[in-house]
Chains A and B, each alone.
Chain A
Amino acid sequence: MNRILVIAEQLAGKLNVSTAKCVSCASTIPDAEIDVAVLAANAAEAPAQAAALAPVKRVLVVERAENGEALAALLAPQIAALARNGYTHVLGPSTTFGKDLMPRVAALLDVGQVSDLMAVESAHRFRRPVYASNAVVTVEAPADRIVVATVRTASFQPAAGGGAAAIERARLDVPLPGYTRFVGREGGNADRPDLQTAPRVVSGGRALGSADNFQLIHRLAAALGAAVGASRAAVDAGYAPNDLQVGQTGKIIAPELYIALGISGAIQHLTGIKDARTIVAINKDGEAPIFEIADIGLVGDLFQIVPELERLIRAPA
């Protein structure tokens, strides 16, 4: 049997959907028994939400004042201690939370890490993207060592609900370092649909030219009930905040509909959208590389087309 420990990611006491995606990935490992670890200061709703995921066997809750903010240096030794209780695999999401934390866990366990796991071929054989998704590699982890991996969330659907796993408190006597302190967090807009989970995303690029003009993207997104994304050029220029960047070094997303406006389609951007069901591109340059992967392309000036598009979408059918 393979005993899988999934590390829960939480946002304000709730389970982030990335956890349900990790559980779904875990359930594709043959003969898997899946536990979820929730580390928190006060584990509000997250344990019950994890227990409701159908494939989950047990939820382990580690409550400790130091776990109030997700600091890798403090969480990693606790997770390494949990992992040593006979687990064969430890999985976390390939979000900034998991990318920060999981390599630290792997090093404490003295094993390599499989980053951005996109498919399970067997308990120790996995596929993952490299070179900004210009290649996919099959990697094999040693069968006699624990496997530590981050899961590429865009490759998995969230696990189904309806389960009723046991919730247990875990007590760990692990000394924690005091050398890192959380100071604060800013940004994130709770009123907007979340970029990583929204079924529709409208993104703007350098062509928008200013933060004011970028409102055009927000308005079209509002008309579609979509989340807003941006290219690196638009973020660097200050038209959009960093958490909206889509791509190799931003967010990897897989919406039903992705609309790229005034984005050229650099490989680093395309990496982030390759799994979208339908890609729409509007660009005034008919040679722009974005058209090579767009399902629907429109050559023209976005400042003329987008208001018209918004009007048509808002118009009653």
Chain B
Amino acid sequence: MTTILVGIKRVIDYSVRVRVKPDGSGVVTDGVKMSINPFDEIALEEALRIKERNLASEIIAVSIGPADAQQQLRTALAMGADRAVLVQADGAVPPLSAAKAFLKLVQRHQPLLVILGKQAIDDDNCQTGQMLAALWDRPQATFASKIELEGARARVTREVDAGLETIDMDLPGVITTDLRLNEPRYVKLPDIMKAKKKPLDVVTLAELGVEVPAHGLRTLRFEAPAARSRGVMVHDAAELVAALKQRGVL
């Protein structure tokens, strides 16, 4: 059995304009659309394509979070994951704890690959994959835009500030996805029905033996960012040049 583990984080949908609660305790989530983190859809899509090429036999979708994350796991099953695991945790799970939970599942399922998103678009941390690779003492390839598997190795093209970088890594290992790796497929209605019968196991973070340390990083308050206000409108290129000169930027 060749297994791929995929991270599926439940986050506020990317199209929602997120607002800070007036008391600064968090952001407004009531009645707000929740979705799979976009980078995780890409991770799952890549795993499905690897399986379709017969290079893997089983895809396990993993979410760490509230009971409601089962919705996102069902969507992942409908997309084509074979089974799902919800690591139930109430309250925020920071990347280091998430990485420790993934490590436990890695030990249990011995995957060839763990594919995570490059970042979760809620906290924008960009940490979990790298932390998992460190704890597991295995290679990492972050920001992947192309993955080629050859036996027990992967050749990964990464999107870096200077352009594209290619690295070669032994497997097992961790890969995190960038936007241009693939375009995730749409879920079809019959697949949603089929997904209801696929296994979805629930364990708690504590049952896995992972805790969120009480003495870790704490978020004290949320604030709205400094606002930029609407400026002036000009009517043609000449007025634009004049306005730029007036502001001293030209």
Interface residues of A (CB under 8 A from B): 11, 71-73, 76, 95-97, 99-108, 110-116, 125, 129-142, 144-145, 177, 179-188, 196, 200, 232, 235-236, 241-243, 248-249, 251, 256-257, 267-268, 274, 277-280, 282, 291-300, 305, 308-309, 312-313
Contact = CB atoms under 8 A, between A and B. Distances in A.
Contacts of A114: 217
20 contacts: A99-B142, A103-B128, A111-B216, A115-B123, A115-B126, A131-B12, A131-B121, A132-B124, A134-B19, A138-B219, A139-B217, A180-B168, A185-B165, A185-B166, A232-B179, A242-B145, A278-B249, A298-B234, A298-B235, A298-B236
B250 interface: yes
Contacts of B165: 182, 184-185
Contact of A291 (B14, B99, B230): B230
A235 B163 CA distance: 12
Given A76-B134, A107-B135, A113-B125, A135 B225 contact: yes
A141 B237 contact: no
Contacts of B240: 280, 282, 296, 298, 305, 309
A242 B168 contact: no
A75 to B, nearest CB: 11
Contacts of B137: 177
Interface SS of chain B: helix, strand, loop or mixed?
A: mixed
Given A137-B219, A185-B162, 6 more contacts: A115-B125, A135-B223, A136-B225, A179-B139, A180-B140, A180-B141
Contacts of A96: 142-143, 158-161
Interface of B: 12, 14, 17-20, 27, 94-96, 99, 118-119, 121-135, 137-143, 145, 155, 158-170, 173, 178-180, 215-225, 228, 230-241, 243-244, 247, 249-250
Of A105, A179, A188, A256, the most chain B CB neighbours within 10 A belong to: A179
A107 B99 contact: yes
Contacts of B249: 200, 256-257, 277-278
A242 B237 contact: no
Given A107-B134, A135-B18, A183-B155, A99 B241 contact: no
Contact of A309 (B27, B145, B179, B237): B237
